[in-house]
A and B are shown apart, each in its own frame.
Chain A
Amino acid sequence: MLRLPPFDFRAPRRLAEAAAILAGEGDGARVVAGGTDLWPNMKRRHQHATTVVSLMGIPELAAVDDGGGELRLGATATLAQVAASDAVRRRYPALACAVRSISSPPLRNMGTLGGNLCLDTRCTYYNQTEPWRRAIDFCMKEAGTVCWVAPSSPRCWAHAASDAAPMLCALGARVLLRAHDGERVVPLEELYRDDGIDYLNKRREEILCAVLLPAEAAVEHCAGSFWKLRRRGAIDFAVVSAAAAAWFDAGGAVERLRLVLGAVASRPLRVVAAEELLAGRRLDEEAVAEAARLARKAATPMDNTDFQAQWRGLMVERYAAAALRQAAGLEPGIRPPHHPL
């Protein structure tokens, strides 16, 4: 059996208590919510902890609050709860679509929104058992020195595989982080760094408590879309994903647009060049094609997940185009993914 290593387990009932434990335990403490990322990582000895602090016993972290303005999603709301939430389905259907595409139904019953946003970056040379990794003398992300995807590279190229992250970045979500010494609210996209190892701009003791979705990103103001490529219709992580959110002016031209790619960088990747190109233009076939080419240029798919990197680069163009077309109300132009929309 693949067993977890021993650790101390704490399940506080209050957030302040969790923050105090994390502050007191130092580097050996880790937070767990649904456990669908941390437990497999600890079983394969990627991630280590002397103390694991569960957030699942803290009721305030699981709440979904819809006052009609900003929507607040608690970090430990499960992915199933988020996807089934009336407020999310009605006001942010593109987010419901992205969350429903994550993994499989039992995993969505366990995994949480906050956990998906903090998902460890992934790589073929990293997501393996311990003996497998030992055989290649590990890699830079862990105990080794070399990035096996790009051996002369000074950095780790593990990719960000979250599906909620690109969609929430496109919608302009913010996150609430809290530690024993205070709290801060930051735009979600500032939570990420393009580094496979240090991929989160957050201190170890900071707890991601909630996701705040702005009212301006609700479906009555903003057209959102999410497209994802993977080998099977369930379980697999994305090998390419594209999320778009577009605001149109009265004349039907793009007032503002965000295009964010998943799984082709160590962070959700905003395609700023495409966003600038499209501002003020009508989102027609020509504009979509130009923007999609810029998306392909911005992406750096590496040979570190399923499918060939070069083909995934081509797919970035197709999937970015599909997301933009759907936001513009055009036919997406590719076959729908297998997951229900």
Chain B
Amino acid sequence: MSEPRNVEPAAEASRVTATLRVNGEDHTVVFPVHHTLLEVLREGCGLTGTKHGCELGECGACAVLLDGRPVLSCLVLAAEAAGHEVETVEGLQEGNRLHPLQAAFADLGAAQCGYCTPGILMTAKALLAQNPEPTAEEIEEALAGNLCRCTGYRKIVQAVAWAAAILRGEEERPPEEAFLGSPLPEVRR
């Protein structure tokens, strides 16, 4: 199929009114029909926790849950999300209580600059809903679409495993080095 070179974009953007169900709340918003869920969440609903990264589906920063499954909100039209349950990072905490994933990420330093964190938290939440006791490999596989340029991923995998343990009601804590780092090697004089 050759690309028509002379297609003009639609002259007027048609606007639609739709009700998006985000984190259990209905948001009735008016937006141009070509706007993505990411644009409408951030600009229409004021929910700026979901970040825009590459906006081409390569980085995972904008991941949200659509009916419980992680999708990239930069590649979903908001119009298509109407009628489905959308979950964003704003819906994770309960009142003042952080979700175990958020708490584990904060305590372990699994978020550094934090830009990729909302997408990773949501993707990890979907993983734990499906698999309460994931191995490190399963965590890495589930998060394979989320790029992080700061942490080197080890803390992220540890934090997801720890949050999974907390959600299972286990008391187990990662080793102290995970929080404080390893002691420096002794220097011989």
Residues in A lying within 8 Å of B, measured CB to CB? 1-9, 11, 27-28, 34-36, 39-40, 43-44, 46-51, 54, 56, 80, 103-107, 109-110, 141-143, 197-200, 202, 204, 233-235, 340
Contact = CB atoms under 8 A, between A and B. Distances in A.
B10 A235 contact: no
B36 interface: yes
A104 B74 CA distance: 15
Contacts of B4: 27-28, 48
Interface in B133-158: 137, 141-142, 144-147
A141 B72 CA distance: 28
B7 A6 contact: no
B9 A40 contact: no
Contacts of A49: 7
B55 A2 contact: yes
Nearest to B123: A106
A9 B60 contact: no
Contacts of A50: 7-10
Could you tell me the dominant secondary structure of chain B's interface residues? loop
Contact of B34 (A5, A11, A105, A233): A5
Nearest to B8: A50
B72 A110 contact: yes
Contacts of B56: 2, 40, 43-44
Contact of A43 (B55, B123, B144): B55
A104 B60 CA distance: 9
A235 B145 contact: yes
B89 interface: no
11 contacts: A3-B35, A6-B10, A7-B10, A8-B33, A40-B75, A44-B56, A105-B123, A105-B142, A110-B72, A143-B5, A233-B144
A286 B79 CA distance: 57
Task: Point out which of B3, B60, B142 has the most chain A C-beta atoms below 10 A from its C-beta.
Answer: B3
Contacts of B33: 7-9
Interface residues of B, number: 43
B16 to A, nearest CB: 8
B1 A204 contact: yes
Contact of A54 (B63, B71, B80, B137): B80
Task: Point out which of B13, B57, B76, B79 has the most chain A C-beta atoms below 10 A from its C-beta.
Answer: B57
B144 A105 contact: yes
B69 interface: yes
B58 interface: yes
Contacts of B144: 104-105, 233-235
A151 to B, nearest CB: 21
A34 B71 CA distance: 10
Interface string B33-53: 111100100000000000010
Contacts of A106: 60, 63, 70-72, 123, 145
Nearest to B58: A235
B120 to A, nearest CB: 11
B178 interface: no
A197 B3 contact: yes
A135 B185 CA distance: 52
Nearest to B4: A27
Interface in B49-92: 52, 55-58, 60, 63, 69-72, 74-77, 79-80
A7 B34 contact: yes
Interface in B1-26: 1-5, 7-10, 12-14
A109 B66 CA distance: 10
Given A39-B57, A105-B141, 13 more contacts: A6-B14, A9-B79, A35-B77, A43-B55, A44-B56, A47-B3, A105-B123, A106-B63, A107-B72, A110-B75, A142-B3, A198-B2, A202-B1
A2 B144 CA distance: 23
Contacts of A141: 3
Contacts of B35: 3-4
B9 A7 contact: yes
A234 B145 contact: yes
Contacts of A204: 1
Task: Point out which of A4, A110, A199 has the most chain B C-beta atoms below 10 A from its C-beta.
Answer: A4
B174 interface: no
Contacts of B12: 6
